[in-house]
Structure 1
Amino acid sequence: MTTEKPSQQQHESQTCRDTDPAPINEKRLLRKMDFHLMPVLTLLYLFCFLDRGNIGNARIEGMEDDLHLKGSQYNWALTVFFFTYTVFELPSNLVLQKVRPSVWIPSLMVAWGVVMTLTGIVTNYHGLLIARLFLGVAEAGLYPGVTYYLTMWYSRHEAQLRQAIFFSAASIAGAFSGLLAFAIGKMHGVGGYSGWRWIFILEGIATVIVAVVAYFALYDYPDTASFLTADEKTWVLRRLKMQFSENGNVVPDTVEFKWKYVWDAVKDWQVYMAVLMYYSTMCPLYGISFFLPTIIRDLGYTSSTAQLLTVPPYVTAAVAAILAAWYSDRMGQRSPLLLFHIGCIVAGFLVCLAGSQRWVPGLIYFGVFLAILGIYPAIPAIVTWLSSNLAADHKRSAGMAIHIGLGNFAGAMASHFYRTSDAPRYILGHSLELAFGVLGVLVILVTRFAYDGINRRRVDKLVRLRPEYSGSELAEMGDKSPTFRYML
């Protein structure tokens, strides 16, 4: 008599049922977690990206003229944000190891809300630079922090959907940014302030208000969550321990913090492959978010119409990101759909170049639309793919911060892709974005084959550990353990 070998998820569920005092309905518990976690996290990132990118809307509402910006000064105002943003991401995630998320994350939000509000009263170029530097410091910890935070709640087999829901706030922010800028721009002259100043002031005040609410609405980790029962806490923690190995292998348990894990992340090849993938999406992301209103305006539309025309691509991208993540989680692999998304970026900028050469505004707009449809589903896929393949917890925290920190140098580069002197065709900008997209395709293929080769070389046993290693030694090895399987 033969029996069918259980799948990974079946094994995890069965293990949890065997050790828990009462049966747990997995789908119901996941919905419960989603209800308590995802709305707050999504709202936080919506305001984060809204406050980061609204400078593009302020620009076409008169900021450039009022501050007497000349030449590449606007581009440098974008660039300096990433200097501090990149430097402070890893320190912020290390602080998160010591300070509760419900305290640290809202505190960061209060800080950048205050900076954003004060940006509305700057009077010259140097004041704008200082504001953007401090905005980078304050915002640095949110994205890597929440990315790590989600891995402490959800297993890697369901993580991309939650990352996509969270990150979809960036595309929704792009849509809201245009709508809000269109409405707030009508406040020109109120209180003696220009419309672009009100964009910063009102959105900054709203950020602080949301941050205060987040102190009370954000939970810490499963073992202390008040909305979970004791049985549910046990089940969640157990399945997190069982997520990293296929075929029922025991997974490295959480170990206490050591600087060794930071160093392990620093020297891990997969972190840097993920950084290159990140460049292939973040350069287009920031190029689009900072310059899309200007690109559309230069197609021949008024500023108000340009603000509104930014909305449809972002809304469509948010829906596409969630659907793609759902399917990727269901499929149990990251690279196939990720390759498709990067392909959309490549195709989109090829279309933009074709439209720019023959000057067909509608074709350029379609190319941007297609690129955005690739960008926003790709980013959570890249982040989830790396986080799924880093263990133990402290290495994952450091690795995600390094990945996102170095990856955000893309913003500093993309700030100079679309130069005023290249308007309205922006051949250089579209060409550079295309080149990064092609780079992404190549890196994804290399990483996929590398992971597959390593998995093939590792032992293929069900539950029994290799006898030459103790449990503590396997825990120390993290994702280098012979029982660990990389997700493809």
Structure 2
Amino acid sequence: MNPDIIEKPIGAIHVDNASKLNKNHASPDNVDYNGSDEVDFSHIDEKAVLRKMDLRLIPMLALLYLLSFLDRGNIGNAKIEGLTETLHMDGPQYNWCLTVFFFTYCVFEIPSNLMLKRLRPSIWLPTIMVAWGVVMTLMGIVQSYHGLLIARLFLGVTEAGLYPGVAYYITMWYCRDEAQFRQAMFFSAASVAGAFSGLLAFGIAHMDGVGGLEGWRWIFILEGIVTVLVAVAAYFVIYDFPETAAFLTPDERAWVVHRLRYQGSQGSGQMVAEAEHFDWKYVIGCFTDWQIYVGLLMYWGIVCPLYGISLFLPTIINELGYVSSTAQLLTVPIYITAAVLSVVTAFYSDRSKVGRAPYVFLPMCAILVGFIMALAGSAHGGVPGVVYAGVFIATCGLYPAFPGNICWMSNNLAGSYKRSAGMALHIGVGNLGGAMASNFYRASDKPKYILGHSLEIAFVSVGLVAVLVLRLNYARINKERNKHGNMGYSVEKLSQMGDKAPTFRYML
């Protein structure tokens, strides 16, 4: 289905006479965009359909990501409850346990996203969730540094597919100007996970001695068991694709599929559907696309501080002079505030007429200001409130910036398989920033952590420059495409070209 069709008034598409559809019915399987009759979508209540999709999709996705972020970051809570002492680990060994997670996490993201596309999300996502839940539970019984190191390697393998998979899954249901709000809704679960992790660790730590196990072991065991139980339920409540969504009517399914296919060319004067078939050139094209590499610098400018905060926030607060239980609880208001700001920022970003860039750039400025405050307060010494305030401000910039960065890149990748592989590459290699951030806050640098705060400032600064480079180049390319039109390419060729087609318009 690669039609050459001029944009129609809202709610109207062409269908083949042979399809025998009436004027008010069109299923996604039998709509053909090359015919002469029109199917009228004006009776579709857009807000009602989006509301149905939100209620059926987002809560479960948010729960999955909450558990994912909880399970990868709870090692920071376990550390201040005695993990390193029990396993006789020194500072560098602990940092290696954090780092190796990201090596396997990066390697397996692209294969996982391609598997998600080839298989059903309702099968793939719960399956990898069961796997990492089992790994998490087994982390609670490791007896040595090497046992923990191996467990973290396998946690990276099993968790690799979730975030890029869910981020891509959202693009299979929502258009470009709707995606960030939904990305933020499930990503804010990471903020809640940060808060919940502190509260949970505070409570579970009191199980110290139960069953002859230390409190930090129960953190891993109980959270792993919960993950497996939720994964089993997820097999029955995750929906696959709009084409098969039982909670939508045939007309609603057709409407959702139609607008997704043509979203990238809106505003170009010619509607061109995205290519849906698999070809290795779409995967290879990701590795030669300039925007992904510039986007990686933007990603590192956000993810390095993100993982620095998520992995070390309890430790940083603990080193400010607060006891471990207080340090756990002081992380809660930071994460709750960040979650609210993430959703509010995304809401306005989706409705903005100035594009995505300001809603990534400004939160990144807050990250920069926050770490400058933390660095200055640490260097001065004796002002824990200033350091805490700086980390607070930085976190409140991190959680709005991250879904904005993911959504902006996904908005500018087409067609379906290139977006799948490109998002996995962007997120996968981007998460090597987590491997770097795992070594920013060294035990030898406590309690001030001057090096860690300084490195975060450097990465955020580079990321801010990358945002400007992306924004300016997207605007330049769109301007050139507006001048030259489709340049005589056939509709089939334009469809195959994806975001390189002269009919495709980058979202600014």
Q: Same fold (TM over 0.5)?
A: yes
Quick one: which amino acid aligns to residue 402 of structure 2? I
Distance 2:10 2:290 in 1: 29
Code of the aligned partner of 2:116: L
CA displacement, residues 45-66 of structure 1 (integer Å, 9 cap, x when unaligned):
0000000000000000010100
Letter in 2 for 1:356: S
How far residue 71 of structure 1 moved from its aligned partner, in angstroms, is 3.2
Match of 1:207? 227
The answer to whether the 8 A contact 1:112-1:135 is kept is yes
Stretches of structure 1 lacking an aligned partner (at least 5 in a row): 1-7
* Residue 372 of structure 2 corresponds to residue 350 of structure 1: yes
Q: What does residue range 216-227 of structure 1 map to in structure 2 within 5 Å?
A: 216-227=236-247
8 Å contact kept, 1:115–1:134? yes
- Equivalent residue letter for 2:369: A
User: How far off is 1:21 after superposition?
Assistant: 6.0
- Equivalent residue, structure 2, for 1:374: 397
Q: Which residue of 2 aligns with 1:264?
A: 285
After superposition, give the CA deviation of every residue in 1:394-414 in whole Å (9 maximum; x if it has no partner).
000000000001000001100
Query: Aligned residue for 1:340?
Result: 362
Most deviating of 93-102 and 60-69: 93-102
Shift of 1:12: 5.0
Pairing of 1:145-294 with structure 2 (within 5 A): 145-247=165-267, 248-294=269-315
- Which of 162, 165, 186 is matched with 1:142 structurally? 162
Q: Where has structure 1 moved over 3 Å in runs of 4 or more?
A: 10-18
Partner of 1:422: 445
Q: Does structure 1 residue 407 correspond to structure 2 residue 430?
A: yes
Cα separation, 2, equivalents of 1:307 and 1:249: 55
Query: Is the 1:81–1:136 Cα contact (8 Å) retained in structure 2?
Result: yes
Structure 2 distance, partners of 1:314, 1:255, is 39
1:295 alignment partner, one of 311, 316, 324: 316
1:389-430 alpha-carbon deviations (Å, 9 max, x no partner): 000000000000000010000011001100111111100000
Shift of 1:459: 3.1
Deviations 1:454-483 (A, max 9, x none): 00000359xxx7372111101111001111
Which digits, 9 at most, give the CA deviation of each residue in 1:417-462, with x for residues without a partner? 001111111000000000111111111111110000000000359x
CA contact (8 A) 1:86 1:140 kept: yes
Q: Distance in 1 between matches of 2:94 and 2:211?
A: 26
SS of the residue corresponding to residue 72 of structure 1 reads helix
Post-superposition offset of 1:242: 2.4
Amino acid at match of 2:213: Y
Residue 13 of structure 1, CA deviation: 4.8
> Is the 1:106–1:215 Cα contact (8 Å) retained in structure 2?
yes
**Are 2:188 and 2:343, in contact at CA under 8 Å, matched by a contact in 1?**
yes
What SS does the corresponding residue of 1:19 show, helix, strand or coil?
Answer: strand
Distance in 1 between residues matched to 2:273 and 2:494, nearest whole Å: 6
Deviations 1:117-171 (A, max 9, x none): 0000000000000100000000000011111111010000110000001111111
Q: Report the Cα offset of residue 98 of structure 1.
A: 1.5
Of residues 109, 127, 141 in structure 2, which corresponds to 1:121? Answer: 141
Secondary structure at the counterpart of residue 307 of structure 2: helix
In the other structure, the counterpart of 1:398 is 421
Taking structure 1 as reference, are residues 345 and 12 closer, same or farther at Cα in structure 2, changes over 3 Å only? Answer: farther
Q: In structure 2, what residue type is equivalent to 1:306? A: A
CA displacement 1:174-219 (0-9 Å, x = unmatched): 0000000000000000000000000000000000000000000000
Give the deviation of 1:251 after TM superposition: 2.8
- For residues 399 and 234 of structure 2, what CA distance do their matches in structure 1 show? 25
Equivalent in the alignment of 1:475: 495
Unmatched 5+ stretches in structure 2? 1-6, 15-23, 25-37
- CA distance, structure 2, for counterparts of residue 151 and residue 397 of structure 1: 9
Pairwise CA RMSD of aligned residues? 1.5
Equivalent residues of 2:316, 2:447 under 8 A apart: yes
Aligned to 2:81, the other structure's residue is in SS state helix
Q: In structure 2, which of residues 335, 342, 349 is the aligned counterpart of residue 321 of structure 1?
A: 342
Does the 8 Å contact 1:252/1:391 carry over to 2?
no
Partner of 1:66: 86
Contact map agreement 1:22 1:231 (CA 8 A) in 2: no
- The 8 Å contact of residues 12 and 239 in structure 1, kept in 2 or not, is answered as no
Distance 1:255 1:289 in 2: 37
- The answer (yes or no) to whether the contact 1:252–1:476 under 8 Å persists in 2 is no
Conservation of the 8 A alpha-carbon contact between 1:20 and 1:234 = no
The answer as to whether partners of 1:12 and 1:242 remain within 8 angstroms in 2 is no
Shift of 1:337: 1.6
Deviation at 1:243, TM superposition (A): 1.2
Aligned partner of 2:20 in structure 1 is none
Q: Which amino acid aligns with 1:286?
A: Y
Specify whether residues 238 and 229 from structure 1 end up closer, same or farther in structure 2 by C-alpha distance, changes over 3 A only.
Answer: same
Residues of 1 paired with 2:372 and 2:494: CA distance? 47
Contact 2:41/2:255 (8 A) holds in 1: no
CA distance in 2, matches of 1:466, 1:368: 49
Matches within 5 A, 1:379-390: 379-390=402-413
CA contact (8 A) 2:133 2:227 kept: yes
CA distance in 1, matches of 2:317, 2:466: 31
* Cα distance in 2 for residues equivalent to 1:195 and 1:116: 15
How far 1:236 sits from its partner (Å)? 0.3
Deviation at 1:246, TM superposition (A): 3.3
- TM-score (ref. length: structure 1): 0.95
Q: Aligned partners of 1:305 and 1:339: how far apart in 2?
A: 33
Residue matched to 1:25: 45
The equivalent of 2:18 in structure 1 is none
Please show how residues 58-137 of structure 1 align to structure 2 within 5 Å. 58-137=78-157
What is the total number of aligned residue pairs between the two structures? 477
Distance 1:30 1:293, change over 3 A: same
CA separation in 2, counterparts of 1:255 and 1:281?
31
Q: TM-score, normalised by structure 2?
A: 0.92
Report the equivalent of 2:32: none
Identify the residue that residue 362 of structure 1 maps to in structure 2.
385
Matched to 1:329, the amino acid is D
Q: Matches of 2:106 and 2:262 in 1, distance apart?
A: 33
Q: What one-letter code is carried by the residue in structure 1 that aligns with 2:326?
A: T
Distance in 2 (alpha carbons) for counterparts of 1:22 and 1:385: 29
User: Between the two proteins, what is the percent identity of the paired residues?
Assistant: 61
Residue identity in the other structure for 2:331: T
